[in-house]
Structure formats: C-alpha cells, structure tokens
A and B are shown apart, each in its own frame.
Chain A
C-alpha cells in the first residue's frame, strides 16, 4: 500500500527541550490513525508539523509522495479541524466554508457546488446563513469539519475535535466522524487524549510519550498485547493491576503470586528465554469472579476493602500479594465491605513486562 503521509526522522526542539525525537511514521492511504497520549506528549506538535503550522528542526514529511516539509499549510492538501472549532466569528457558516476556496480564487459556481455538497454530507444546510455564535457546540464542530471537507483534500487532520463537547454530544459526533470516514475513505489523522475515542475510531493507534511513539498498532493489539508497561497502564479504565514478581523458567515458565504458582504455558511470550524480575499485569475486567472464578486456571481469595457501585457494574478494591488491585463485579451482585470473594484469572490474558526496561516479555 502506498503511504499517504510519511514522516521520516522528524525532530523538533524548543531550545534545549526536544518535543519530538527522531520520529518515523507511515500512514496508509485511507487509514484512520489516532495519535493518543497525555498532554505534553508531543501529539499535537506532530499534527501541527504535518499541517505546516510548526517548523520541524530536522527530518522530512511527505504527503502523497511529495516532500512538503517546508511547504505552506494551504499547499499540502490537508484540511484541519481544531478543538476550539476556530470558526471565523464574523462570517456566516457559508462564509466560513468558502473562505479557503475564495483564497485560491476558485470560480463562484464551483464554490457554491462544494459548499452545498459539504452542507449535505454534514446536514447543516439550514445553518448556512447563520453566524457561528448562533450555533451549538456540536453544530460548530460540524461546520469546522465542513471547512476541511470543501477543500477536497486527501488528508484530514483532527486536533482533539471533541474535547470541548459534553459527553453525550461527544459520543454522537464520534459516530458521525466514523461514518464520515467510511463514506469518504480519506486519510485521517486524529489527535486525542481520550482512549475511548481512540479505540472506537482508529484503524491504528500511535501512543506517544515524551515525543516518542511508544506503540503503533491496531486497537486490538494495543489493548490485548501492549508493547510496554506505559501503554498497558495508559489504556483501559480502570487501569491494569500490576504485581512485582519474578519470572522463572523451570520445566515450565511461571511466576509466583501471593505464594502460589502461576503457570504460564499458555502465555504468548515475545522473548522466549527471558527470566528475572518482572511486572505481572492483569486487567480488572480479566479478573473472574463467582462461578467463572471457580473454573479459572489460577484462583485466590481476597477481601473487598472498598466497593464502588456504578450501576451496570461494581468496582471492588482489594489487596493481593501486598498490591492494591481492582476488579469488576456484575452490577446485580451483592457485596459489602469486608466480604471475602473468590477471584481467578487466565494467565493467557496477562501482560508481563521486564522490570528493567518495562518492555513486553
């Protein structure tokens, strides 16, 4: 597959602080890539570099095979949607949509046609004559997407487009963006700090930290086989439980948890001969309880120290092997603080990282 956007050895330094370090990324034609990370990880900086709004210190950016590292933003064949919508307040919705086209002196007829098409796709025809101030948050963001749409570009850049919306609207627009991508099949690069958005929208997710991509992979890979402890901890809510233990390889690889052997024959090792100090991670939702726990390969008995009922489920805090752990119960279960509960899990679903480099074992 020919790559749509290609980033090669990209660096960006502000004085002595490096925001992006030697970054490489290939984004395929029509791919939906999400850049995910906490604030300050460099994800927005990377997006701004792709857009041409920030100049990298070194490296190059190709869009559709063209080196655009130093090209003007408008010459890169990109459209961008911003967190604060960034609609021009004194122009009508129509004016906002057509501003970019007027700047390249496109014939009026063509502008009208494109605005009409974008308005149709986004269902904002009734709003065309209004000013942004008269629109709701969701409508504004739709107009902002429309502004990228009319330019008929190959690559869409989204900079946390849903972060200013309330939870309900966010979920609605998320679906709409996904639908839009399925319809248009453009390359989309989407920056967010919200893992739900990332998981639901992405073809591939790039998790960033400190200007470096920690893992690049499909949502499934990222969730089930995190490449390092940072990614494992970052994805999933509540986050993964980690135990400090030692991986030993006798007849069979195993770790010891709370004095009990946890056999790892079914675990998919990346490094077949690693042994030593490790973090043993298991997601709260992979800890089994009740009937399921009874038939789990590994079983423990723990005391419920804190109970957080959430309606559909109950989150229980407890201690296992001197480590605070969380796990989920069905919302209908009856559990009180101090109750003893039987839990278990399947070691195949665990994630193990070496302690030194915190990389997957």
Chain B
C-alpha cells in the first residue's frame, strides 16, 4: 500500500486502536464523564430527577449541617483508623507467625484467608448472628452462670462500631497477611543470616531491619485497605443496617440513601463528591511515593 510514503499516524497500529475502543469508552465516558457529571450536578438542587438548576455550594453547606452526615464521617474515621491499624498489626503478626517454618502452613493460611472469599453480606449476617445477644455469645456466657454478663455490641450505640470492626477484621486481615507474607518472603535470606551472625535478636531484626525493608508492601497494603474502608457499605447493610439509630451510619450508605431512598439526588452527589475528595487525598501522596521517583513507573 504505502511502499514509499510514511503511513499517516492515524492508521498506525489501527487494529490495536480499534481493540482499545471499549477501554477508551470506559475511561472517558464512565470514569471521567460520570465523575464530572456527578460533580457538576452536585451544584444543583436536583431531587427526584437530575435538574440543571444551579444553587452553587448550597448542597455542600446543607450536607455539612446534616447530623447524619457528620455522624457518618465520624464513624468512618473511628472505624477506619482502628481497622487500618488492627488489620496491619494482625496481618503482620499472622504473616510473621506463618513465616516461622511451621507445620501445616498451608492449612493455617487457608483458614486465615477464607473469609476474604466470602461476600460482605455473608460476613455481616454471620457476625450479626454470633453477636446476637439473645442467642449468641452473651447468652452462652450467661448460661454459664454469669447472669449479668452483657455483650450486645450490635444493640449498643457506643459499641456497634466495634462489632462491625470484629467482622471487618475477620473478613479482611487474611488479605493483609497474604501481602505481608509475600513481602517477608521477598526479603533476602542473607539479611537474616547477617543479623544472626551479628547476634541481633529476632524481634529487633523485625522492627529495625525487616519492617523498614518492607516499606513498599506496607504502602500498598495501606492504600488497598484504606480504599476498601471508604467503600464500606455492604457490611453495614448486612450487619447493622446503620443502626441502632444512626450509630453505624457511613458515608457510602448516606450517598445511597440520599439518591435512591430519600429522593434527594443533589445531596447524594455532594456527599459522593466529598468521598472523591477524601480518596484523592490518599491517592495523590501514594502515587507520588510510588511513581514520583521513577519515570517509567
């Protein structure tokens, strides 16, 4: 065809470009388009249907004056920070224990990770049952003779988040273990030999040598767990439904309810935009850390 002339840039790799059309549509229409759409309509007073009736920042002012939204944010912060710390600690502990050349390694690993294969709905429902005061742990302990024993986290507004936390940890710490284990196994055997020769105790080796070496794994895990926390929705729906009262409301549920239950679309858009802002604050430093240094990241 073009034996002598340089082919035009448009037709270069034409098949590859055609094959990429679904990806282009996804990236541009869904990820960029829909996000922008939501942000734009968060400046309107859309209720049942989206309307281009501009109200400026009124939705945001209203949002930050809404008690339920504030409680949602507070809940997410409490749950999020605890979940982050505890899942990292528990995950690392599990990984370090499994890394001790133990017997039945595969068996233990299977046990710690299987909850991750189950849905949040299943997780929420089973823990709702285990923590049920009428039949669950409270009842069992009472029947052992402690008549006044009270353990009803899902019915106590002050404790409900911890009840969710127990389920969240059960579900997600196996994943952290897996990532940590991969990190531990990725450390050069010679590092351990060197610290043995130098006579450094094992716990010191972990804290001063191994953990600093695993920084990339920790960063990745942190981002993964955090983005999971922000999306927290199914678990709450299944385990507590946001209750008792508003005690376990979370932003994702606020958005869903505003959009699909209380017919207050623009509030939902404003709230989801706030979630996007929060994620941006997590992603940017991470992307900077991960890809900032190297050009070919």
Within 8 A of A (CB), among B1-22: 2-7
Count of chain A residues with Cβ under 8 Å from any Cβ of B?
A: 6
Count of chain B residues with Cβ under 8 Å from any Cβ of A?
A: 6
Which residue in chain A gives the minimum CB-CB distance to B7?
Answer: A70
Describe A's contact surface by its main secondary structure: loop
Write out the residue numbers on chain B whose beta carbons fall within 8 Å of the beta carbon of A68: 3
Write out the residue numbers on chain B whose beta carbons fall within 8 Å of the beta carbon of A69: 6
Q: How far is the CB of B236 from chain A (nearest CB, A)?
A: 48
Judged by a CB distance under 8 angstroms, whether A67 is at the interface is: yes
Within 8 A of B (CB), among A55-96: 66-71
- B175-193 toward A: CB 8 Å interface, digit per residue (1/0)? 0000000000000000000
Q: How far is the CB of A317 from chain B (nearest CB, A)?
A: 35
Report the bound CA distance from A68 to B4 in whole Å: 7
Report the bound CA distance from A71 to B4 in whole Å: 8
Most buried by B among A66, A69, A70, A71: A70
Write out the residue numbers on chain A whose beta carbons fall within 8 Å of the beta carbon of B2: 70
Write out the residue numbers on chain B whose beta carbons fall within 8 Å of the beta carbon of A71: 3
Q: How far is the CB of A211 from chain B (nearest CB, A)?
A: 21
Most buried by A among B4, B5, B7: B4
Report the bound CA distance from A316 to B76 in whole Å: 76
Write out the residue numbers on chain A whose beta carbons fall within 8 Å of the beta carbon of B5: 70
Report the bound CA distance from A66 to B4 in whole Å: 9
Report the bound CA distance from A69 to B5 in whole Å: 9
Report the bound CA distance from A146 to B5 in whole Å: 33
Which residue in chain B gives the minimum CB-CB distance to A60?
Answer: B4
Write out the residue numbers on chain A whose beta carbons fall within 8 Å of the beta carbon of B6: 69-70
Q: How far is the CB of B275 from chain A (nearest CB, A)?
A: 39
Q: How far is the CB of B43 from chain A (nearest CB, A)?
A: 42
- B45-85 toward A: CB 8 Å interface, digit per residue (1/0)? 00000000000000000000000000000000000000000
Report the bound CA distance from A67 to B3 in whole Å: 7
Report the bound CA distance from A67 to B5 in whole Å: 10
Write out the residue numbers on chain B whose beta carbons fall within 8 Å of the beta carbon of A67: 3-4
Report the bound CA distance from A257 to B227 in whole Å: 74
Within 8 A of B (CB), among A36-71: 66-71
Chain B residues at the A interface, C-beta cutoff of 8 Å: 2-7
Can you show 9 pairs from A to B with CB atoms below 8 A apart? Answer: A66-B3, A67-B3, A68-B3, A70-B2, A70-B3, A70-B4, A70-B5, A70-B6, A70-B7
Given pairs A67-B3, A70-B5, 10 additional interface contacts (CB within 8 A)? A66-B3, A67-B4, A68-B3, A69-B6, A70-B2, A70-B3, A70-B4, A70-B6, A70-B7, A71-B3
